[in-house]
A and B are shown apart, each in its own frame.
Chain A
Amino acid sequence: MRKSLVILILVFAGTLVTAPVWAVEAGGKIGLGYSGTWFENGTFQDEFTDYLDLELYLPPLGRTEVSYAFRVTSPLEGLTASQETGYFTKKLYVKQRFDRFQLTVGRQPVSWSFGSLLNPVDYTIGAEAFQQESAGKFTEAVEVYIPLNWNSGLALVASFPAGFTLETAKLKWGVRGRFGIKGYDLTVNYVHEAEAAGAGSDGSIGFIPLPRRRAGFTFKGDLGDLGVYGAFGHYFGEGTAENNSYLAGIDYSYKINYDHKLTMQLEYLGLERNNLASLLGGYMIFPGEQEKINLVTGHLAYPLDDFSSIALTAMASLDGSKYLLAPSYQSILPGDLDLELKMVFFLSESMPNFTSFAVNLNYPF
């Protein structure tokens, strides 16, 4: 059944791509990946992944837009019956633009990014780590966006982490105001988790209860040639102790020999360890007695030429107990194939060290 579904989707996608007379267009990417991890005790685990991302570009009907994007996981392995094929809807929503507001209803990404590497005050904590998108941002939701001026607006979101239901206990909601003031992007937000959302819901790693209510403030702007940003989060009690998070960061770019430009980003994050675990997922979990964690994260990117670049992401706890280094190389190969090579070195005093690698090939179409 699964195999038939995949074949049907592929045929459907192929039809859309090759039939220019249709108003509907399709695009996406096909990805193949191989990754492995060596643990300190000598064990090695590896995994092959393949996926197909497909998005249908439907022309707007007046002021109504429809978006549909999904991912099919393991379509190749599904065909060879070595792995079960999966289907994940990323977007399936209708957006209506009214004179004074926008209404978006359906499965959609709810992202409150503001340019930091880690975001302790996002709508969904833990949805973004190391600039990788995760499934956590996509949720069944209703969003109303009310613009106040060209760079300011108010977003009201109600989402259903456990799927659409009329039970208010399963409703998560939030409000975010965004204001452009004198070249600075300022945001304030408040999130109320679903009462029924127990430990591990909402895309977190599974054993840390989320703060039920939280409020956040962020800013981003320029100080001369330096980009500056920061965030403050307050997590109310109920399930977890009341606590705060602090984030401060800078970004800068520097031309080396008037030639290639090195871009840098460095940020400090201080917060309670429980919230940190939610934010970082499997990385940098801090078991033990430590309550407050101080973390420094940096990112360097350097283009080698027009087609390839190298980058290094590093993370360290200020007490020196944990380090994470993630060098990567990206290149656009002939034939418009994207190649990505990544390594992660994790060093810790209290947890097993590991080294992992990943090779990914993507073809956008």
Chain B
Amino acid sequence: MKKILVSTVVISMLILVWVSGALGALTAEEIIRRRDDNQYFSTAKIEAEMVIINRNRKIVKTMTSYAQGDNGLVIFTNPRDRGTKFLKRGDDLWMFFPEAEDLVKISGHMLNEGIMGSDFSYQDVMESDKLTELYKFELVGEEELDGRPCYLLEGTAVEGKEVSYYRRKAWIDKERFVGLKEELYARSGRLLKVMVVTKVEKREGRWYPMVSVMEDKLRKDTRTEFIVHSIEFNPEIPAGTFTLENLR
């Protein structure tokens, strides 16, 4: 009788451990949601620098950008491009040329173009949608990246959603829930870009990638570093920021 009781307790405990372990395992959706909790922002102000590197030469572009939902505004501050502004509202892209103060609507096909000659497209820089809304993710494994254990996920674009890349592989830090690497693929399966995060910092209680390096795999010996100097989450952005009136 005692033997049966002990066996029952041991089995119960094993079941309990297994069940709690199973309950503790995160699904792909939960991992991405937790990543989004860190990296997604509905509103932000960012001071950043883009360094375009080709072999041993480089160009530095500095900018202040504002993002709110689907809207983005980038104002360049480096000498060569000073005063040049981009406004993205939904799929509409506008550009302000400071010399003659021209304000021109940019054709939609330019949205996937490298912004100011970089490896980041206008979509990359201004897209602030939640990844969970754009892609269906699957957990495909776990890998260590630069000594940090990561979840490896694969996402495929949700039908009907406008995205720059059809498929993406993401390495998400298991502890900090921040993306450390991404591979971006075309519908054909061709690898287009690889982004590696080289510096992560905790800002306003969330882990955020401060330095990212984007490599366009279709171009040789080139990469673009995107360095975030400061980021303010949910700042008060004045009404009218994302308007043509404000670009002038």
Query: In the complex, how many residue pairs between chain A and chain B have their CB atoms under 8 Å apart?
Result: 102
Q: Interface size on B (CB < 8 Å)?
A: 37
In the complex, chain A residues whose CB is within 8 Å of the CB of B99? 109, 133
In the complex, identify which listed stretch (A146-154, A277-285, A342-350) lies at the interface while the others stay far away.
Answer: A146-154
Contact B109 A365 (CB under 8 A): no
In the complex, chain B residues whose CB is within 8 Å of the CB of A22? none
State how many angstroms separate the Cβ of B54 from the closest Cβ of chain A: 4
Contact B219 A151 (CB under 8 A): no
Contact of B91 among A137, A183, A306, A336 (CB under 8 A): A183
Tell me if A185 is interfacial: C-beta within 8 Å of chain B.
yes
From B117, which residue of chain A is reached at the shortest CB distance? A306
Contact A306 B59 (CB under 8 A): yes
Contact A222 B107 (CB under 8 A): yes
In the complex, identify which listed stretch (B7-15, B131-139, B237-245) lies at the interface while the others stay far away.
Answer: B237-245
**Please, how many angstroms separate the alpha-carbon atoms of A183 and B57 in the complex?**
39
From B54, which residue of chain A is reached at the shortest CB distance? A306
In the complex, chain B residues whose CB is within 8 Å of the CB of A258? 186, 190, 192, 218
Tell me if A303 is interfacial: C-beta within 8 Å of chain B.
yes
- Which residues of chain A in 110-131 are interfacial with respect to chain B, using CB atoms and an 8 Å cutoff? 111, 113-115, 128
Tell me if B3 is interfacial: C-beta within 8 Å of chain A.
no
From B91, which residue of chain A is reached at the shortest CB distance? A183
Contact of B244 among A114, A128, A178 (CB under 8 A): A178
In the complex, chain A residues whose CB is within 8 Å of the CB of B110? 227, 253
Contact A151 B92 (CB under 8 A): yes
**Please, how many angstroms separate the alpha-carbon atoms of A27 and B83 in the complex?**
11
Tell me if A62 is interfacial: C-beta within 8 Å of chain B.
no
State how many angstroms separate the Cβ of A338 from the closest Cβ of chain B: 8
**Please, how many angstroms separate the alpha-carbon atoms of A5 and B73 in the complex?**
40
Contact B248 A102 (CB under 8 A): yes
Residues 90-132 of chain B, each 1 if its beta carbon lies under 8 Å from chain A, else 0: 0110100001111111111110010001000000000000000
Contact A115 B105 (CB under 8 A): yes
Contact of B79 among A115, A137, A364 (CB under 8 A): A364
- Which residues of chain B in 134-149 are interfacial with respect to chain A, using CB atoms and an 8 Å cutoff? none
**Please, how many angstroms separate the alpha-carbon atoms of A221 and B105 in the complex?**
8
In the complex, chain A residues whose CB is within 8 Å of the CB of B190? 258
Tell me if B164 is interfacial: C-beta within 8 Å of chain A.
no
Tell me if B222 is interfacial: C-beta within 8 Å of chain A.
yes
In the complex, chain A residues whose CB is within 8 Å of the CB of B48? none
Tell me if B187 is interfacial: C-beta within 8 Å of chain A.
no
Residues 148-180 of chain A, each 1 if its beta carbon lies under 8 Å from chain B, else 0: 011111000000000000000000000000101
Contact B100 A109 (CB under 8 A): yes
In the complex, chain A residues whose CB is within 8 Å of the CB of B82? 27, 57
Contact A226 B109 (CB under 8 A): yes
In the complex, chain B residues whose CB is within 8 Å of the CB of A289? none
Tell me if A291 is interfacial: C-beta within 8 Å of chain B.
no
- Which residues of chain A in 316-365 are interfacial with respect to chain B, using CB atoms and an 8 Å cutoff? 332, 334, 336, 338, 364-365
Tell me if A234 is interfacial: C-beta within 8 Å of chain B.
no
Contact of A334 among B57, B107, B117 (CB under 8 A): B57
Contact A133 B248 (CB under 8 A): no
- Given the known A-B contacts A180-B92, A305-B54, are A145 and B248 also in contact in the complex, defined by CB atoms under 8 Å? yes
Tell me if B33 is interfacial: C-beta within 8 Å of chain A.
no
Tell me if B52 is interfacial: C-beta within 8 Å of chain A.
yes
Q: List 29 A-B contacts (CB under 8 A).
A: A27-B79, A27-B82, A111-B100, A113-B103, A113-B104, A115-B104, A115-B107, A145-B245, A147-B243, A147-B245, A149-B243, A150-B240, A150-B242, A150-B245, A151-B244, A183-B91, A185-B105, A220-B107, A221-B105, A227-B109, A251-B109, A258-B186, A303-B117, A306-B52, A306-B117, A306-B222, A332-B59, A334-B57, A364-B80
**What residues of chain B have their CB less than 8 Å away from a CB belonging to chain A?**
52, 54, 57, 59, 79-80, 82, 89, 91-92, 94, 99-110, 113, 117, 186, 190, 192, 218-219, 222, 240, 242-245, 248
**What residues of chain A have their CB less than 8 Å away from a CB belonging to chain B?**
27, 57, 102, 108-109, 111, 113-115, 128, 133, 137, 145, 147, 149-153, 178, 180, 183, 185, 220-222, 225-227, 251-253, 257-261, 303, 305-307, 332, 334, 336, 338, 364-365
Q: Which 9 A-B pairs have the closest CB atoms?
A: A227-B107, A150-B243, A147-B245, A222-B108, A185-B105, A306-B54, A113-B102, A364-B80, A111-B100
